[in-house]
Structure 1
């Protein structure tokens, strides 16, 4: 194998460079970068080549320029879109978390309000329990009493009594911060288990720490006595002897401690033993020590 010497290599290179058939050198291609109108940088390419450049070379350069432009556009636009998506997701997450917080605060406020309101109502209810109304029966006055013969609705003959009387009592509301609505069952005067007169008390409202004197008309008209009327009849139509009577009714009081939410109801059954003295018609009969209150 023959090895070339340095002189041979030099001679060969000189010969090659001086050869008349060598092709002229191609001009280098370069890129010109110019700003676009929208602030983004795009890359355009300018080719300087010999007039004999092939079409294949030109199309390749054009494709290269387009691909570079797409890449620059993606790098300049896509990052902002990505940031916008992240910011929107973060905003939605914060809004969602804020909605949960507001719901929790509202629920805590509602629960706390009801707990405090219930505690306050319980305190008022407990404080108002011992403040029961006080009722004192004062007197009764018999204005008119008549016993006469007659007949009932079926035509049976019997003695019949007619009576007009007025009962007075005091009602006191001991509550310090609530009023009461007062009503009562019919006030009944009975003789030998026969109701001979009755009266209805008009309902009223009593304000806190106040009292009033109540008057109720108790009347009966031609009430049949049947066999019990023999001891009451007389030629004058008036009883000649004292007549024992019983008074019965129930007083009802309703206290609205906190509107219609907290209420107290007090019931008091009143029974009085009364003696009708024909000699004291038109006079007040004291009942201070003749009544019981249950």
Structure 2
């Protein structure tokens, strides 16, 4: 027996399954420049982008799939930002490293240049202050005898006339020197028996000059030192000492840099009053200070 189906039965027999789920795929639509912009604004995200705020709607499965894709994309963006940050840091390190290296090279070159200039000045000053070499001493006459001084005290007297030959050399290549002789005298037993008067003169650069220094002493009282004078003369010669003080001045760059050097020369010699001759000074005969 057939029963009529009511409208409610047809309604209950209808499909019980829901409509098919909708899936949304989000594809990248921006270039790498947009990704770089995202790196700079990654800290300003909206709460909707965070997975901690899920949406509850009828299409829960579609939102879950979209969230999964969005999470993957955010992880890729994070990796991309890390790579960009590392590259930027490497570029900054190379840039500032090159700048620091260049600055160190400049300082090193400046120090080397200053050292070379200072060494050049020292070399020039050393060249201009080299010892001047006495070459010989010619004795014209030497007399000694006994007498009385102005107060009537008996003593021995010495008279001497001689000339010394001195070689003056200026090796400087940039400037000349002004030469003076502050002291030039002949000593016997620490007593000055002859002196010289010399004028200042100018010595050109890289030049040599032979100076004749006249030493003259007349009636020099020796007092107690004259007791051994005759004995020394008979035994080979009277010991004397020639002392010279030579002062040189040089000017570099006008008068901006001035050099001054004083050389003292002391030469020992023996003079025979009976056989006067040129006395040659050897390298070990003189001392320079």
Q: TM-score, normalised by structure 1?
A: 0.54
- Which position in structure 2 is the counterpart of 1:94? none
Q: Take 2:201 and 2:247, find their aligned partners in 1: how far apart are those partners?
A: 11
1:224 equivalenced with 2:218 (yes/no): no
Q: What secondary structure does 1:270 align onto?
A: strand
Q: Take 1:157 and 1:249, find their aligned partners in 2: how far apart are those partners?
A: 31
1:285 to 269, 279, 287: 279
1:263 to 258, 263, 267: 258
Runs of 4+ in structure 1 deviating by more than 4 angstroms, as ranges, are: 121-124
Q: Is the 8 A contact 2:249 2:259 kept in 1?
A: yes
Deviation at 1:126, TM superposition (A): 4.3
Deviation at 1:125, TM superposition (A): 3.8
- Which position in structure 2 is the counterpart of 1:240? 234
- Which position in structure 1 is the counterpart of 2:124? 128
- How many residues are paired up? 172
Q: Take 2:123 and 2:141, find their aligned partners in 1: how far apart are those partners?
A: 46
Deviations 1:226-262 (A, max 9, x none): 122123249xxx9434111111121100001122221
Deviation at 1:155, TM superposition (A): 2.6
Q: Is the 8 A contact 2:172 2:205 kept in 1?
A: yes
Deviation at 1:186, TM superposition (A): 2.4
Q: What secondary structure does 1:278 align onto?
A: coil
Deviations 1:56-86 (A, max 9, x none): xxxxxxxxxxxxxxxxxxxxxxxxxxxxxxx
Deviation at 1:130, TM superposition (A): 2.6
2:168 to 171, 195, 199: 171
1:159 to 156, 160, 166: 156
1:142 to 139, 143, 148: 139
Deviation at 1:213, TM superposition (A): 0.4
- Which position in structure 2 is the counterpart of 1:86? none
- Which position in structure 2 is the counterpart of 1:35? none
Deviations 1:142-179 (A, max 9, x none): 11111122222333221111000100110100100100
Deviation at 1:218, TM superposition (A): 0.7
Greater strand content:
1
Q: TM-score, normalised by structure 2?
A: 0.55
Q: Is the 8 A contact 2:143 2:273 kept in 1?
A: no
- Which position in structure 2 is the counterpart of 1:202? 199
Greater Rg, structure 1 or structure 2? 1
Unaligned runs of 5+ in 2: 1-113
Deviation at 1:127, TM superposition (A): 5.1
Measured on the aligned residues, the alpha-carbon RMSD in Å equals 2.4
Q: Is the 8 A contact 1:247 1:271 kept in 2?
A: yes
Deviation at 1:122, TM superposition (A): 6.7
Q: Take 1:133 and 1:202, find their aligned partners in 2: how far apart are those partners?
A: 20
Q: Is the 8 A contact 1:134 1:173 kept in 2?
A: no
Q: Take 2:150 and 2:133, find their aligned partners in 1: how far apart are those partners?
A: 38
Q: What secondary structure does 1:178 align onto?
A: coil
Q: Is the 8 A contact 2:141 2:273 kept in 1?
A: no
- Which position in structure 2 is the counterpart of 1:181? 178
2:270 to 269, 275, 280: 275
Unaligned runs of 5+ in 1: 1-118
2:209 to 201, 204, 212: 212
Q: Is the 8 A contact 1:189 1:198 kept in 2?
A: yes
